[in-house]
Amino acid sequence: MTIQQYQKKCSREYLKSIKFPKENSYLYGNPVGTVLPIETAIGKIMVIGPQPAAKVYFVDDIPDVPLYDATAPFSIEPYHDGSRVRSSYTGQELSEIILETLEIPREKCWLTSLVKVFLFDDDHVKKYHRLGKEIKENRSRYMEYANKSLPWIRQEIEIANPKAIILLGPEVISSLLLCSEKEALEFMTGKVVEKKIIWKNSNFICLPPPGVILDRSARNPWPRKFAIQLGPAAAAEIKRLEAQPSI
């Protein structure tokens, strides 16, 4: 299957395959749809995040109201949110925290998410309620949708044939490595974890999501861990794998 064939198939069939309700829509009635991988380097580095962000806007003095699907996973496309020019936090954070530390240019990445549709959390529900629209929280159903999304991510891995696959966060790690979220935290070392996916062993590198690394609260150990241990370990592993001949 080619990249274009996969994108077309995923666009047409993904929502139905995970049994995602058709009636889910944003504030102004725009449907919540599938966010497809657009940056798709072959034979390089794959990055898998939990879910796509949405484009968020300033509405009636309420900041960060999700209104539209993102252009792509980890998009850095600029847009005006009603108050200022901005781009997706997740895209910026990935580029400035993870990829910069690992010395990986975006053009050498296949950027995707396990769940390919935006999910509303309790904070989004409250904002929509203030704006006169009732929506259902569905972020709590993440693992249900993640498990149903595994066939899609396996197809992407087969097409991308990456040298390394970076998994961001315990939800993604536990889904792909078939372990508990507690065990997933133990895999977040920056070192390669090998697991057979499709037809060969894949090299997984497990890291916290960039938003967690940026959280400088006193009780959060991950910024220091990433700076001292995880980031350098992952960068060394990427260099080692890139130096190996392609299969």
Note the pLDDT of residue 23.
85
User: Does residue 245 have a pLDDT over 90?
Assistant: no
pLDDT tens column, 36-89: 999 999 999 999 999 999 999 999 999 999 999 999 999 999 989 888 898 888
Domains and CATH numbers, the chain: 3-242 (3.40.470.10)
User: Does residue 192 have a pLDDT over 70?
Assistant: yes
Note the pLDDT of residue 181.
87
What percentage of residues in the chain have a pLDDT greater than 90? 74
Note the pLDDT of residue 217.
84
User: Does residue 247 have a pLDDT over 70?
Assistant: no
pLDDT tens column, 88-122: 888 888 998 899 999 999 999 999 999 999 999 99
The beta-carbon contacts of 58-66 under 8 Å, at least 24 apart in sequence, are 58/82, 58/83, 59/27, 59/131, 60/130, 60/131, 62/127, 62/130, 62/131, 64/127, 65/27, 65/124, 65/127, 65/128, 65/131, 66/26, 66/27, 66/118, 66/120, 66/124
